[in-house]
Amino acid sequence: MMNKLVQHLTQQLGKPSQGLWGWLVTRFLENKNRFLELNAVRLCDIQPENTVLELGFGPGLGLEEAVKYLTHPKGKLYGIDYSDYMHSIASRRLQADIQTGKVTLFFGSVEQIPLEDSVVSRVFHCNCYYYWPDLHAGSKEIHRVMKPGGLMVTTLNLEALEKIVAAGVLKGTQWPPEPYMKVLRDTGFVDVRMVDKQDKGRTFQAIFATANKA
């Protein structure tokens, strides 16, 4: 019984769907992940005229924050998530900026991003790569859409992750950061590093990766 609940929770975190579970997971993400989302945006060093992409945006808190930085008319924000439920919730949250064309949200997968080559200058994501069906394909695709020299930031809380993993959640996912970082290097990212960071007295981790110029 307990195993089934934990398995279901893991599935819903990886792809929330409409219904009671999806609603609960959304409340959880909104309450617990705001801190990591805001820090991913902060560490991305977004410039007003940048083109920015969030992967696995969930309820859209990071998108809401990132768009505030894009004050230049050229600044543009994209997001992609393969949960239709998350896509509809975030679309409602970002409605005004979607209407002006400042923000575009794709309902789709990280492994197939509907953007041209070398157009994105900043990418961020939180609690997302754990669930990608193919880390290598995902990373290669992100690298394809990034401008050479562009920066990608992933924030995570290793201590919290280890606790939920010990409780059986995230079983079968690819949450450990090292294999993810290796795949980033294998697919053309350079200067890939994980750093301890602090904000408001709390410690978390940030993985930085730069799209190779070659």
Ligand X SMILES: C[S@@+](CC[C@H](N)C(=O)[O-])C[C@H]1O[C@@H](n2cnc3c(N)ncnc32)[C@H](O)[C@@H]1O
Q: Which residue has the tokens 């200067």?
A: 191
Q: In the range 19-48, which residues lie near ligand X by CB under 6 A?
A: 29, 33, 36-37
- Contact region for ligand X (CB under 6 A) — 41-49, 122-130, 141-149, 196-204? 122-130
- Nearest approach in angstroms of CB 135 to ligand X is 10
CA atoms within 13 A on the CB side of 163: 5
Q: Is residue 65 close enough to count as binding ligand X by CB under 6 A? A: no
Encoded one letter per residue, x for contact with ligand X by CB under 6 A and - for no contact, window 75-94 reads: -----xxxx--x--------
* CB distance 10 to 172 below 8 Å: yes
Q: Is residue 109 close enough to count as binding ligand X by CB under 6 A? A: yes
- Nearest approach in angstroms of CB 72 to ligand X is 25
The residues facing 51 across adjacent strands are: 76
- Contact region for ligand X (CB under 6 A) — 121-129, 160-168, 181-189, 192-200? 121-129
Total residues in contact with ligand X, by rule CB under 6 A? 23
Nearer to ligand X, 66 or 72 (CB): 66
Q: In the range 127-156, which residues lie near ligand X by CB under 6 A?
A: 127-128, 131-132
* Secondary structure in 3-state letters for the chain: CHHHHHHHHHHHHHCCCCCHHHHHHHHHHHHHCHHHHHHHHHHCCCCCCCEEEEECCCCCHHHHHHHHHCCCCCCEEEEEECCHHHHHHHHHHCHHHHHHCCEEEEECCCCCCCCCCCCEEEEEEECCHHHCCCHHHHHHHHHHHEEEEEEEEEEECHHHHHHHHHCCCCCCCCCCHHHHHHHHHHCCEEEEEEEEEEECCEEEEEEEEEECCC
- Nearest approach in angstroms of CB 214 to ligand X is 26
Nearer to ligand X, 108 or 148 (CB): 108
Among 43, 50, 53, 56, binds ligand X (CB under 6 A): 56
- Contact region for ligand X (CB under 6 A) — 13-21, 70-78, 140-148, 157-165? 13-21
Q: Given the rule CB under 6 A, which residues bind ligand X? A: 13-16, 29, 33, 36-37, 56-58, 80-83, 86, 109-110, 126-128, 131-132
